[in-house]
Chains A and B, each alone.
Chain A
Amino acid sequence: MAKKKDDLKLIVDGKRLDGRSADQLRPVRIEAHVLNDANGSAYVEWGKNRVLAGVYGPQECIPKHDASPYGALIKCRYTMAPFCSLEEHGRSGPNRRSIEISKVMTDAFKNVIFTEYYPKTQIAVFVEVLQSDGGTRCAAINAASVALVDAGIPMRDMVTAVAFAKVDGQIVIDAAKEEDNFGQADVPVAIGANSKEILLLQMDGILSKEEMQQGMEYVYSAAEYLHRLQKDALERVFTTTAQEKKETFLRM
């Protein structure tokens, strides 16, 4: 974690750097079914984050010796575009961080997908971060969840993800890049939208039990709102006309 400059105050009078309060999310926009050739796809704008997800499959498992007779293999691939931020990202293929995020995404979705319906196949989930500003793994999971539903993969539940953080000694939801870099802790959480099961919980930093409880309260209420947005995006696929879809695409 980078050294915090002494004069940098992340929270002033209860307002954060971008003017949000502690329990306020950045503006989120979700669009489903944005790619023609993928079985399912989604696009998420989350503050300055831009994330595109595509789902292919169930398809023939490659390499073939990986195929399991017990169920489909889920292969998530999180990648950052080289142009997604000012830092070095994605220029030399997958790195430690993107491999880790791909793995935790796979593990989160393993819990909700009925993999046993499709033995000896794979379900490929590709997530590309086009622009990043902190919290991309949560945006990626939300996008992938919508894309999986759009693809028609049978799932027990939808997945919603959001992070909370400790910034200037205070618990806040959905940390942006500066808050993440100069804060004391960052906790991305993915939960089953209906079951409220915790499917992903990573913690970077130290928190007390009370702080954790406070953060989880924020997460549960934010997840409800995000789930609504995910459902609205999928519903719009069927209620908008072709012309409206074209205009939506142009706005992106």
Chain B
Amino acid sequence: MTSTTTAKLAEAFTSNRAEQMPLDVTREFILPPFLPRINLDRDRKSLRIQGGRGCGKTIFIRHLCHPTQLSPQKTDIDSVVLGRIGLYWRSDTAFCGLMKPGWLGDRDADSAFSHYATLVILTEVASFLDALARAPLKDGPIQLHQTNLSVVTAEYFDGRIERFGQIRDFAKVERIRLERWLQNPKLDRPQFLRYEDLLQDIAEDLASHDPRLSDLFFRVFVDEFENLEVNQRRLVCDAVKHAKARYSVNFAMRRHAVNDFETSANEQVVEVHDVRTIDIELLLEQVPEDFKLLASELLLLRLHEKGIRMPTTYFNYSKLSDPAFLEERLSETYRRHVVEFAETVFPGWDGPSIAEKVLQDSALRNRLSQLIRGALKKHPSSGALTEDDFLDHSKPAASVVTGCILHRKRHRPDEVIQWFREYDKGNDANPFKGWIENNLYGALFYLYIGLPQRPNLLYSGFDRLCTLARPNLRVFVELCRAALTQSLDGSAKGDLLSHGLPVISPEAQAEAARSVSESILLEQVPNLGTQGEKLAEIARRLGRLFETAHRRPSQSEPEINHFSIEDAGKVQLNAETLELLREAKVWSVLYEEKDTKNKSDYSIAHTDLVPNPMFSPYFGISYRKKRKLTLDASQVNTIFTGTGSQFESLLRDFNRKWDVGQEDPEHGQLFQ
């Protein structure tokens, strides 16, 4: 593959935000595997679509809206789609900021926002009518522009318009008037409209003009709900709470960004009763295989768009957005084939194979030798044993874990060597079996962490890239782009062709993971919300803490990469820490997960706080959720809000506790 080809392929992954995509996402959207589980056709209840940044909320909504549902790119569209047709609304946040009580007074602020909502919805209805007029519906398009409004509908417009085709201009003129008045409320106030009855009556009116519209039902989607002002969110909640026969109001938001769903009448919007939550992240987390399927299909789709011939008949891009093929896509055979091809593009090595590579790499092998030598020196029972006795190319995994095992006081070198020598004899009682199972990854991370210039092969392979990115498809796309770009750098890394697909070497993947990790941590996180810089600093501090844990020579608790807070002390978390914790969850810097294994008897921590796995390659630490650190409130306060020197002091305490620092004098701290 030439570097020009690779560059073109990398381009396929450069535009990765739904907002940069067209309103009609027929070609971009892949029906998610979780669709049958949420069954959107079940009812017309309001939906709350939630998930972290980049998990695909916007594209999911756009797929449900009229530009996609009535896309000219489709054929023979069943009019059943008109029974749940979406109208998209993303507010101009700063403009909405003018509809605040502080500027307009309580009453006018609310009325102005309702009026604005009405005009946005009317503009969307006008676009829906345009889409309807050119939609490839089964029995042809529905042209209603010249159709007269009913007497009831016309009344809302004060006799200013007579036909459906005039709605757009009406909304446009009113938007200009509203805009002018909001800049200077001393001007004449526009005549305010409310959409509640208006939208209901327009839908009724439309439904009477064509039998295919008889079941017409609008789903109004308010994207980025969290960015609205408090009074505006209440007005949206009013509409959610009081759905009408012909429409419902739905909203999308980042997880944790809003906790209060109160209406203007101080009622709460209640899950199940008023709203159904579709948590895209949760749905993708629950079934990791689904994320892998989506990621594989996305990869193949983007490659297909760049002219790569697909090596299998199983994959056909036109199936991806067609509900008729969803069942087939969810079959085991299809999944296996598609994922297999993604694995061809992103090959990876298993743990023992990476151990083999370690023994072949002089620098990594040297580090392992030093580790073993250091341990032998400490033990009186070492006798004449040397590190070479524990390095055996025929037993790479056992060789790699030996260094850590020997650093544990309870294991005598003269015993360990016996088990090591007999490891390949097939004795099930040989402890190396368990040691490898529990320590191989930890030992490998330990070795790589001391040599940060070496691409860590534990960050390569399709499966691992999915684990790093999950549940964020945008991150996966960034990894694809970076990996293809890395392949550009050197043909030595082996960007070969297999079955017509590009193959990215594990080394290039690992380097890509490191560069994407760095870019997210240092360039993206600091710009998230108003506290981005602080969130990035917290992520850096946590990374350094876990990196220290990974440097423990004994690896007695390998792969510590997340934490929980002692329940008893939680009340001592200061207000700023609590606010930053919330922000960190909103922006997916930290994920809150249910505690699965609480090893401490006295602590009653119920939730784990897991840094975004995508930070791991930057620090060279594990991305697998294996072990956690339980911190007390004061330690958490120090990490979140302490000064630099307070944090350094905390880190030194852990260094001492974990016996880090004496083990490898030639390698200092990596990330200051």
Partners in one complex: no
Chain B residues engaging chain A, CB cutoff 8 angstroms: none
Chain A: residues with CB nearer than 8 A to chain B?
Answer: none
